[in-house]
Amino acid sequence: MLDKLSKSVGDALEFPPDVVAEGPKITITGREQILVENYGAIIVFTPDEIKLDTSIGELSMNGRKFVLKTILATELHIEGKLISLTYVGGEAGNG
């Protein structure tokens, strides 16, 4: 019921979905800095690949020289050269 109330309030106040929902929020600055908020778990981390479990599927990032600058329970700060970002699994088209 709280989830329905949150969605209704968010719709009424016209909040963006990432503010109301529990889904991930990804902020990319250029190709060198990535901030991922509301992730579930780190599945794979190498200098060339990062895979994260999220509530809407597995987030896969490919690049070069990835370094985790900050690891918190709800967010990751990553630096390196981002080449690609894709989602695998989960349901497409929610929103």
pLDDT in tens, the chain (95 residues): 555 555 555 556 665 554 556 789 999 999 999 999 999 999 999 999 999 999 999 999 999 999 999 999 999 999 999 999 999 887 655 54
Total number of domains in the chain: 1
- Residue 46 one-letter amino acid: T
* CA end-to-end distance (rounded Å), the chain: 19
- Measured in degrees and rounded to the nearest 5, phi and psi for residue 30 equal 60, -135
Residue 22 pLDDT: 74
- Residue 82 maps to which CATH number? 2.60.40.2000
Q: Which two tokens stand for residue 75?
A: 């967010």
Inter-residue contact 39 to 53 (CB < 8 Å): yes
Is 3 contained in some domain? no
Closest C-alpha among 34, 64, 33, 32 to residue 47: 64
Closest C-alpha among 18, 21, 16 to residue 4: 21
Which range marks the domain in which residue 61 is found?
22-88
